[in-house]
């Protein structure tokens, strides 16, 4: 790099041309100081990503020699109804989880923000689900949603409704997974909303009160508009996590020892994109196709990111 | 030398780099396998008898440091990653039975056990099990650990109350075909309303496929999942649904366990290792159970192998350890320790295995499992079985659980299989 810049011999330009070289030389230790991140990213980020692209153009069983496959994996991916249905499942589960979650988180945050005692105890309690292992939670939810002895069905029957075979019907499975995700993320997002609420100056509320606004009007005219950045942040984070849901359906729908854990329950209702990727890769030993599925997931995430980005951009205008 | 800040920084960085490089270099010095003294064995919880592993360590102590490591989580993916990474490969590796078909095409990753004289031990092991550890080109990859002969577990009192045969010998003799078994299921349901013979129809399908000598893909990489043998298993599963002898419960859930405990699911077709699951899952049913032969004949679920990886520097020593650990006497101990059903018929007559089991009302369960293990059919397991069996299993599940039309489900399964077969290079 530096040698190419040295070439121009003109004396007038010399000092300008020489600067990059001395710059690099003078500042190399700064580059060295920030290098750990880049080295780690190279080893654990960029190289695996590049390799997965290479892998997706091959057939590989994980051990033997790789076989060039060109674009056939991607061609198959486009026509693979199972992949498309897994995208649908992921989005439905994400929507079922995210919108109630945002609503509940907002309500929780507003409640926490008003003067209550033991505020920190509540904050801790609401945050706890988020740091609990998904696997442990999924096992508990498996019991909660079980047909004959589950808590949910007990409640339904207490109010005179029929029991539902939650983990045995396509919609039941989606609702169960979404409920799990809602439960896990509500507290986390409530804490973020709470932080947002606390940045809203008290004078605004005071002014609103003087102008005769009720609590509902205050919420919709002052709180909500000022919370917009927080809302967007929460939406982005939940999109990222929601599109990657894997452990939830995997553990919730796990079955007896001799059956595949990654098929996503009856009718594949709980088969999310990442679960499908995992099944193809590790159950079927189809590492090449698995890599292609992973790139398919990447494209879906990119599309959602663009949508999110547009939302944020519009706010700036 | 003046000690400047820059100088210090430079020295520090150089030091770090040197350490890192040195670490890498020393890491590379002993990456693969043993140095002769160290011998690493990979297995999983319950994969080998603990007593036997401990004894092996002391027995071979003056020759090697045997380090037996229990690998948790998804065992196969961890082993494959390690083999593909060509570093820190264990010398001896356990291979799970259900993964065996996927290891065999890569037999060159392992030491051919024939070269170490495995053939002279062949007569001591179940022939079908021995065969399952051998690759297509004849190389022997896996040395038999255990197997999982399937039996019919049932609750004595419930069968008696329903007017069905209830002594193990009678159940084995009178419910020996699927047809008689299903008829018994109808009678059970009529006499004791709310009681079902089986949890779901998936088990009927899988058990029936296991009882045959063919599965979904044959040796010539040809899809045979549309053949008569799979179709018969499918029809049998659909019939179980039609005759309403299966419950609407999901196996492995608390619902199923509680139904098992209160006797409304008094019967199950399961492998020998399910004994432990039942004992742990519903301990209060102690004494109520018996085992009998499986309707439709014996079959097998699970059972694993030990292998010697290519990275092992002392294959002879490793082979000595393996054969000692998996000898008939130690396999009997493995059964006591971890419920591993021996692949060595000589163990079946040993006293340890012929103890009357109070959980099964004092029955000597070996009388059922032993003969079943000897008569298990040899089936070819293809590395593509998993990918091409799953769509069929998924569809039979839809029939059983969601009430999907069986004809449509079969058609969907077949069209999906054909597509996947094409993609995987399996001829249709």
The helix/strand/coil state of A273 is helix
pLDDT tens-place string over residues B14-33: 655 555 544 444 433 344 54
Q: Tell me phi and psi for residue B149, to 5 degrees.
A: -60, 140
Lowest mean pLDDT among A76-80, B15-19, B55-59, B152-156: B15-19
Which residues fall within 8 angstroms of residue B202, CB to CB, at 6 or more apart? A259, B237, B251, B393, B396, B397, B400
CB contacts, 8 Å: A141 with chain B? none
Q: Which B residues, 132 through 191, put their C-beta within 8 Å of a C-beta on chain A?
A: none
* Residue ranges in chain A modelled with pLDDT below 50: 1-18, 256-258, 317
Tell whether A132 is covered by a domain: yes
CB contacts, 8 Å: B423 with chain A? 72, 76, 289
C-beta of residue B175 within 8 angstroms of C-beta of residue B295: yes
Q: To 10 degrees, the CA torsion angle through A58, A59, A65, A68?
A: -40
Tell me the average pLDDT across B350-367: 94
Residue B417's nearest CA partner among B232, B231, B225 is B225
pTM over 0.90: no
DSSP 8-state code for residue A173: H
pLDDT tens-place string over residues B164-197: 999 999 999 999 999 999 999 999 999 999 999 9
Selecting from A170, A258, A286 the residue whose C-beta is nearest the C-beta of B206 gives A258
The helix/strand/coil state of A67 is strand
User: pLDDT tier at B41 (50, 70, 90 boundaries)?
Assistant: very high
Selecting from A62, A146, A284 the residue whose C-beta is nearest the C-beta of B255 gives A146
C-beta of residue B376 within 8 angstroms of C-beta of residue B146: no
Cβ contact, residue pair A147, B398, below 8 Å: no
Looking at the predicted structure, is the pLDDT value of residue B54 above 80?
Answer: yes
DSSP helix, strand, coil percent of chain A (3-state; round to 5): 75, 0, 20
Cα atoms found within 13 Å of the Cα of residue A39, Cβ hemisphere only: 8
Residue A170 contacts B where some CB pair is shorter than 8 Å: yes
- Give residue limits of the domains in chain B: 5-147+302-349, 150-300+379-424
C-beta of residue A268 within 8 angstroms of C-beta of residue A89: yes
Tell whether A248 is covered by a domain: yes
Tell whether A38 is covered by a domain: no
pLDDT at A12: 46
pLDDT at B17: 57
pLDDT tens-place string over residues B297-325: 999 998 999 999 999 999 999 999 999 99
Cβ contact, residue pair A289, B423, below 8 Å: yes
**Rounded to an integer, what distance in angstroms lies between the CA atom of residue B389 and that of residue B391?**
6
User: pLDDT tier at B4 (50, 70, 90 boundaries)?
Assistant: low
pLDDT at A293: 97
CB contacts, 8 Å: A62 with chain B? 80, 84
What total number of domains does chain A contain? 1
pLDDT at A6: 46
pLDDT at B339: 87
Residue A163 contacts B where some CB pair is shorter than 8 Å: no
**Rounded to an integer, what distance in angstroms lies between the CA atom of residue B412 and that of residue B406?**
10
Please give the residue of chain A at the shortest CA–CA distance from B254. A143
Tell whether A90 is covered by a domain: yes
**Rounded to an integer, what distance in angstroms lies between the CA atom of residue A48 and that of residue B381?**
32
CB contacts, 8 Å: B77 with chain A? 282
pLDDT tens-place string over residues A80-134: 999 999 999 999 999 999 999 999 999 999 888 886 788 788 888 888 998 888 8
Tell whether A2 is covered by a domain: no
Cβ contact, residue pair B77, A143, below 8 Å: no
Q: Which A residues, 252 through 271, put their C-beta within 8 Å of a C-beta on chain B?
A: 254-260, 263, 266-268
Count other Cβ atoms within 10 Å, centred on residue B273.
20
DSSP 8-state code for residue A169: S
A164: tokens are: 């539902």
3-state secondary structure chain B: CCCCHHHHHHHHHHHHHHHHHHHHHHHHHCCCCCCCCEEEEEECCCCCCHHHHHHHHHHCCCCCEEEEEECCCCHHHHHHHHHHHCCCCCCEEEECHHHHHHHHHHHHHECCHHHHCHHHHHHHCCHHHHHHCECCCCCECCEECEECEEEEEEEHHHHHHCCCCCCHHHHHHHCCCHHHHHHHHHHHHHHCCCCCCECCHHHHHHHHHHCCCCCCECCCCEECCCCHHHHHHHHHHHHHHHCCCECCCCCCCHHHHHHHHCCCCCEEEEECCHHHHHHHHCHHHCCCEEEEECCCCCCECCCCEEEEECCCCCHHHHHHHHHHHCCHHHHHHHHHHHCCEECCHHHHHCHHHCCCEHHHCCECCHHHHHHHHHCCCCCCCCCCHHHHHHHHHHHHHHHHHHCCCHHHHHHHHHHHHHHHHHHHCCEC
Selecting from B74, B77, B255 the residue whose C-beta is nearest the C-beta of A147 gives B255
Please give the residue of chain A at the shortest CA–CA distance from B148. A258
Selecting from A59, A256, A267 the residue whose C-beta is nearest the C-beta of B398 gives A267
User: pLDDT tier at B144 (50, 70, 90 boundaries)?
Assistant: very high
Selecting from B102, B259, B302 the residue whose C-beta is nearest the C-beta of A258 gives B302
Q: Which B residues, 403 through 422, put their C-beta within 8 Å of a C-beta on chain A?
A: 416
Q: How far is A284 from chain B (nearest CA, A)?
A: 5
CB contacts, 8 Å: A263 with chain B? 390, 393-394
Please give the residue of chain B at the shortest CA–CA distance from A76. B423
Mean pLDDT of chain B: 90
Please give the residue of chain A at the shortest CA–CA distance from B259. A148
CATH says B150-300+379-424 is which class?
alpha beta
Tell whether A34 is covered by a domain: no
pLDDT at B211: 95
* Residue corresponding to tokens 């008003």: A114
Cα separation values, B29 from A49, A245, B22, B317, B389, Å: 28, 40, 11, 22, 44
Q: What is the domain range of residue A277? A: 73-316
pLDDT at B31: 47
CB contacts, 8 Å: B390 with chain A? 260, 263, 283-284
Please give the residue of chain B at the shortest CA–CA distance from A172. B402
Question: Which residues are B222's β-sheet partners?
Answer: B427
C-beta of residue A105 within 8 angstroms of C-beta of residue A196: no
Cβ contact, residue pair B102, A285, below 8 Å: yes
CB contacts, 8 Å: A165 with chain B? 248
B115-123: long-range contacts, CB 8 A cutoff, minimum separation 24? B115/B315, B116/B308, B116/B315, B116/B316, B116/B319, B117/B319, B118/B143, B118/B319, B121/B323
C-beta of residue A233 within 8 angstroms of C-beta of residue A104: no
pLDDT tens-place string over residues B258-303: 999 999 999 999 999 999 889 999 999 999 999 999 999 999 998 9
Selecting from B251, B254, B390 the residue whose C-beta is nearest the C-beta of A143 gives B254
CB contacts, 8 Å: A260 with chain B? 386, 390, 393
> Mutation test of the interface with chain B: which of A63, A80, A263, choosing the one with the most B Cβ atoms within 10 A?
A63
A67-68 vs A58-59, strand pairing mode: antiparallel
Angle between helices A81-113 and A170-199 (to 10 degrees): 40
User: pLDDT tier at B238 (50, 70, 90 boundaries)?
Assistant: very high
CA distance between the termini of chain B: 78
Question: Which CATH number is B5-147+302-349 given?
Answer: 3.40.190.10
The domain spanning residue A109 has which CATH number?
1.10.3720.10
CB contacts, 8 Å: A268 with chain B? 394
C-beta of residue A58 within 8 angstroms of C-beta of residue A67: yes
* Residue corresponding to tokens 């926490």: A112
Tell whether A60 is covered by a domain: no
> Mutation test of the interface with chain B: which of A256, A263, A291, choosing the one with the most B Cβ atoms within 10 A?
A256
Residue B5 contacts A where some CB pair is shorter than 8 Å: no
pLDDT at A316: 52
Cα separation values, A41 from A44, A46, B169, Å: 5, 6, 66
pLDDT at A168: 84
pLDDT tens-place string over residues B77-130: 999 999 999 899 999 999 999 899 999 999 999 999 999 999 999 999 999 999
* Fold equal for B5-147+302-349 and B150-300+379-424: yes
Residue B83 contacts A where some CB pair is shorter than 8 Å: yes
Burial status of residue A104 (CB atoms within 10 A of its CB: 0-12, 13-18, 19 or more): middle
Q: Which B residues, 345 through 384, put their C-beta within 8 Å of a C-beta on chain A?
A: 383
Residue B267 contacts A where some CB pair is shorter than 8 Å: no
């Amino acid at each position: 790099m530096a040698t190419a810049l040295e070439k121009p011999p003109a004396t007038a330009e010399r000092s300008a041309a020489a600067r990059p070289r001395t710059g690099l030389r003078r500042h190399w230790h700064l580059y060295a100081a920030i290098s750990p991140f880049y080295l780690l990213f190279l080893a654990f980020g960029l190289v695996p990503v590049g390799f997965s692209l290479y892998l997706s153009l091959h057939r590989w069983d994980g051990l033997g020699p790789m076989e060039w496959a060109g674009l056939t994996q991607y061609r198959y991916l486009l026509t693979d109804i199972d992949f498309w249905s897994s995208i649908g499942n992921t989005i439905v589960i994400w929507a079922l989880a995210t919108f109630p979650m945002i609503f509940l988180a907002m309500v929780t945050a507003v409640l926490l923000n008003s003067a209550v005692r033991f505020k920190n105890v509540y904050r801790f309690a609401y945050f706890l689900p988020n740091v609990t292992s998904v696997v442990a939670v999924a096992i508990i939810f498996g019991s909660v949603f079980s047909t004959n002895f589950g808590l949910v069905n007990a409640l339904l029957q207490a109010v005179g409704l029929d029991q539902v075979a939650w983990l045995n019907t396509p919609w039941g499975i989606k609702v169960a997974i979404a409920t799990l995700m809602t439960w896990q993320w509500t507290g986390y997002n409530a804490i973020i909303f709470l932080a947002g609420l606390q940045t809203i100056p008290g004078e605004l509320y005071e002014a609103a009160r003087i102008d005769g606004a009720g609590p509902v009007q205050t919420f919709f005219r002052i709180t909500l508009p000022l919370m917009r950045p927080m809302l967007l942040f929460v939406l982005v984070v939940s999109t990222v996590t929601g599109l990657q849901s894997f452990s939830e359906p995997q553990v919730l729908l796990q079955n007896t020892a001799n059956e595949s854990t990654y098929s996503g329950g009856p009718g594949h209702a709980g088969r999310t994109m990442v679960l499908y990727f995992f099944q193809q890769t590790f159950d079927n030993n189809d590492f090449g196709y698995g890599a292609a599925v992973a790139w398919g997931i990447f494209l879906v995430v990119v599309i959602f990111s663009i949508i999110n980005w547009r939302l944020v951009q519009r706010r700036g205008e | 030398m003046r000690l400047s800040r820059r100088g210090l920084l430079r020295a520090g960085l150089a030091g770090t780099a040197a350490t890192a490089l040195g670490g890498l270099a020393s890491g590379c010095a002993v990456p693969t396998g043993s140095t002769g003294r160290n011998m690493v064995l990979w297995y999983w919880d319950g994969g080998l008898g603990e007593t036997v592993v401990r004894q092996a360590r002391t027995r071979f102590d003056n020759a090697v440091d045997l380090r037996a490591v229990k690998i948790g989580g998804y065992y196969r993916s961890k082993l494959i990653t390690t083999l593909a990474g060509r570093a820190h490969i264990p010398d001896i590796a356990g291979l799970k039975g259900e993964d065996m078909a996927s290891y065999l095409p890569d037999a060159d990753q392992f030491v051919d056990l024939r070269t170490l004289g495995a053939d002279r031990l062949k007569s001591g092991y179940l022939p079908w099990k021995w065969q399952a550890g051998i690759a297509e080109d004849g190389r022997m990859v896996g040395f038999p650990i255990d197997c999982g002969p399937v039996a019919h577990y049932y609750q004595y009192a419930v069968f008696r109350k329903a007017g069905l045969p209830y002594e193990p010998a009678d159940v084995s003799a009178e419910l020996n075909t699927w047809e008689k078994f299903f008829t018994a299921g109808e009678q059970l349901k009529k006499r004791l309303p709310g009681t079902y013979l089986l949890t779901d129809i998936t088990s009927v399908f899988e058990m029936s496929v296991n009882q045959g000598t063919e599965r979904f893909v044959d040796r010539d990489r040809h899809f045979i999942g549309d053949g008569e043998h799979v179709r018969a298993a499918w029809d049998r599963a659909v019939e179980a649904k039609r005759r309403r002898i299966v419950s609407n419960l999901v196996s492995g859930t608390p619902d199923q366990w509680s139904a098992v405990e209160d006797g409304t699911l008094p019967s199950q077709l399961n492998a020998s290792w399910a004994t432990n699951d039942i004992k742990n899952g519903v301990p209060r049913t102690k004494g109520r159970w018996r085992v009998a032969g499986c309707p439709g004949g014996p079959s097998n679920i699970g059972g694993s192998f030990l292998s010697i990886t290519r990275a092992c520097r002392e294959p002879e020593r490793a082979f000595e350890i393996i054969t000692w650990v998996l000898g008939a006497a130690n396999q009997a101990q493995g059964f006591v320790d971890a419920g591993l059903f021996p692949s060595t018929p000589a163990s079946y007559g040993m006293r340890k295995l012929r103890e009357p089991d109070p959980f099964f009302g004092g029955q000597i369960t070996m009388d059922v499992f032993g003969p079943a293990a000897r008569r298990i059919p040899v089936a070819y397991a293809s590395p593509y079985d998993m990918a091409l069996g799953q769509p069929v299993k998924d569809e039979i599940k839809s029939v059983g659980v969601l009430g999907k039309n069986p004809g449509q489900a079969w058609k969907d399964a077949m069209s999906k299989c054909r597509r996947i077969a094409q993609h995987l290079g399996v001829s249709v």
